[in-house]
Amino acid sequence: MSTGMRRPHELDYEAIERLFPPPPEYFETTFFEEPDTIARKQLLRLQDRAQRAWQVPFFRKRWEAAGFHPDQLRTLDDLWRAPAYTVDDIRTSINENPPLGDYQSIGLEDARNEPMRLYVSGGTTGRSRPTLYTAWDREVGAITMARALYAEGIRPGDVVVNAWAYSTHNGAHAFDEALYRWLNCVVLTTGTGNVTSTRKQVELAHEYGAAAILTTGDYMLKMAETAVEMGLDPKADFNIRALPGGHIGDAERVKEVWGVTPAQPYGFHEVQNVSIECPLRNGQLHIFEDCFVVQIVDPETGEQVPDGTQGALVITEIYKTGSPQFRYNIMDLSFLYPPGQCECGSWLRRMGPFAGRGDNMVKLRGVNVWPEAIGEVISDVPGVTEDFFCRAVRAGNRDEMIVMVASDAPADEFGGVAERVEDRIKEVMSVRMTAEVVGPGELDGLTGMGTAAKLVRFKDERP
């Protein structure tokens, strides 16, 4: 019996489009709303989101301990009274309440009543971080993604190559849903070069006149190299006019090779797109304030910092019905511009582009890597001691990670140890890294062994 089961088409699409206009309507209406209208809408949605988050054990426990209650939210500034949380708090929640943690407002059993999706992020240390999305969450999230893609130059009817990894991570699927459901684009679902060869992806982009390729900047440069090897000119022989994605790497080099200026959106796994670069391409990102409240804090203290000061992003979403993100300190670095009207005419708050991490996370070819977690990943590889050190470098137009490990094996076996380390990292973390093996004690100068209160495990050597 299907009694009580809601089909995807039964979702209230009229309400979704009224509350969260998709493109191009968004850029003709909500994008130009007055500050008072924006603030009034934000406060109402924030108050509603807080009341529903109060029912979630993870938030209720933290809020009660901090003396905060949703009824205290009388102005947007009152949001500062709620405690923030980080990925470490989520990991603790998952370990204590596996597999979903106690931070979701829905459970797997709710899929009997409405369509639902589960995506996971991380997992490089301990359990992966799951997020359950209701059908409403997926659609509104797809609209925010569609807004960003539209602003970056993609138009209805375009052919788009989606070269992100279709996996347990949200990324490729979020792009796909936005393109197909809200922009009427034809999506070529190539996935990464491990699924569809780079040569084949270049052939498809050329043959079908793709207007955009969604991937990292590093892979765009790899595709350009392959195109040249095939006798094709990336600028003259392709129809590329948009390079969205957000992880563009060497933007100037990509622009030089493809003749297209990459855009700078910002978003992350749990919430899709938070902001988009101004149409004037001035490096300022307009925040989707009908969906988010963005704050900036000191990465060390968690205290508010003045506008214009770089700090860690704290994100509160105000559009979802499922898993809440309420004052989530994502530890990505940026800053807020002072309130005011942009030259483009929009009053939306503006933030700076992603400026790195407040911790040591490195994004390697679209995969989030925490260097400290690598030690756990390789700990049981034969011949490896507990001593390791990671270096992020720029080589061959892309970011690379070199993992240096100390081994107690004979020196003539170091090559085999390195191969085993590389294979284990690839197996667990889904990204290839280079391993360098040294003898015991040879990493002490890098890690501070014997001299530092806390061992150093990572150095960013990228220019």
pLDDT digits (tens, 9 = 90+) for 372-415: 778 878 988 999 988 899 999 988 888 899 999 999 999 999 99
d(CA 224, CA 209): 15
Long-range contacts of 333-337 (CB under 8 A, 24+ apart): 333/299, 333/357, 333/358, 334/266, 334/296, 334/310, 335/296, 335/305, 335/307, 335/308, 335/309, 335/310, 335/311, 336/294, 336/296, 336/307, 336/308, 337/284, 337/307, 337/308
Give the residue-averaged pLDDT of 358-365: 77
Q: Give yes or no for residue 453 having a pLDDT over 70.
A: no
pLDDT tens digits along 407-436: 999 999 999 999 999 999 999 888 899 999
pLDDT for res 448? 74
pLDDT tens digits along 267-306: 988 998 999 999 998 989 999 999 999 999 998 889 999 9
pLDDT for res 2? 53
pLDDT tens digits along 277-288: 999 989 899 999
pLDDT tens digits along 131-166: 999 999 999 999 999 999 999 999 999 999 999 888
Q: Give yes or no for residue 359 having a pLDDT over 80.
A: no
Give the residue-averaged pLDDT of 65-79: 98
pLDDT band at 366 (very low <50, low <70, confident <90, very high): confident
Q: Give yes or no for residue 18 having a pLDDT over 60.
A: yes
Q: Give yes or no for residue 107 having a pLDDT over 50.
A: yes
Backbone angles phi, psi at 227, to 5 degrees: -60, -45
Strands 212-214 and 159-162: parallel
CA 366 to chain centre: 9
pLDDT band at 1 (very low <50, low <70, confident <90, very high): very low
pLDDT for res 246? 54
In our burial notation (b when 16+ CB lie closer than 10 A, e otherwise), range 111-148 reads eeebbbbbbbbbbbeebebbbbbbbbbbbbbbbbbbbb
What percent of the chain lies above the pLDDT cut of 90? 70
Give the residue-averaged pLDDT of 353-382: 80
d(CA 354, CA 109): 37
d(CA 221, CA 393): 17
pLDDT for res 124? 46
Decide: 297 and 311 in contact? Cβ < 8 Å.
Answer: yes
Higher pLDDT, 257 or 246: 257
Residue 86 is given by DSSP the state -
Give the residue-averaged pLDDT of 344-353: 97
* CA nearest neighbour of 244 among 336, 345, 349, 155: 155
pLDDT band at 454 (very low <50, low <70, confident <90, very high): low
HEC string of 292-334 equals EEEEEECCCCCCECCCCCCEEEEEEECCCCCCCCCCEEEEEEE
Give the residue-averaged pLDDT of 440-463: 78
pLDDT for res 125? 46
pLDDT for res 3? 58
pLDDT for res 10? 85
Residue 179 is given by DSSP the state I
Average pLDDT, the chain: 91
d(CA 253, CA 220): 10
Give the residue-averaged pLDDT of 244-259: 77
Q: Give yes or no for residue 37 having a pLDDT over 60.
A: yes
Minimum mean pLDDT among 3-17, 32-46, 97-111, 130-144: which range? 3-17
> For 73-136, where are the E strands, in sequence order?
116-122, 128-134
The encoded tokens of residue 327 equal 């004052």
Give the residue-averaged pLDDT of 64-84: 98
pLDDT tens digits along 200-234: 999 999 999 999 999 888 788 889 999 999 999 99
d(CA 404, CA 132): 37
Residue whose structure tokens are 């993992």: 403
Give the torsion sign (CA, 150, 154, 160, 162): negative
d(CA 352, CA 170): 24
pLDDT tens digits along 433-451: 999 999 998 998 898 765 5
The encoded tokens of residue 102 equal 């106690």
d(CA 352, CA 439): 44
What percent of the chain lies above the pLDDT cut of 70? 95
Decide: 307 and 366 in contact? Cβ < 8 Å.
Answer: no
pLDDT for res 290? 98
